[in-house]
Amino acid sequence: MAKLEEQISQIEQLDQLIRLRATGRPKEVADRLKISEASLFRLLDAMKQLNAPVKYDIYLQSYVYEEEVSFKFGFYTKELSPQRAMEINGGYTNLKFLINF
């Protein structure tokens, strides 16, 4: 699990640098992330497999996104409607069913 967390952290760091258009050349960004260039290329390949439209801009000498994207990894809670919360928690409707059972 630690390896996965490390890779996610590296993707998040790389994503931030790409958004700032401040990665620099491959060797520079690899050094910033404290990984080898080969690991950087594997990380970029993984991002591309996740549909990141990332490319290297030779004029900016930085990796950039070809279109606006967002990256979030993890599980996030969302607010439920009161009705849905009752359904999930076995609310009044389910209690009424059990009483009649």
Rounded to an integer, what is the distance from CA 70 to the centroid of its chain? 8
- Per residue in 56-71, pLDDT (tens digit) is 999 999 999 999 988 8
pTM, full prediction: 0.70
pLDDT of residue 11 exceeding 80, the answer is: yes
Considering the domain 2-65 in this protein, what is its CATH number? 1.10.10
Which residue ranges make up each domain of the chain? 2-65
User: How many of the other CB atoms lie within 10 Å of CB of 14?
Assistant: 24
- Per residue in 28-39, pLDDT (tens digit) is 999 999 999 999
The token pair that represents 1 in the structure block: 């699990």
16-49 residues labelled b (16+ CB within 10 A) or e (exposed): ebbeeeebbeeebbbeebebeeeebeebbeebee
pLDDT of residue 89 exceeding 70, the answer is: no
The band of 1, judged by pLDDT with boundaries at 50, 70 and 90, is confident
Element (H, E) at 75: none
The band of 92, judged by pLDDT with boundaries at 50, 70 and 90, is low
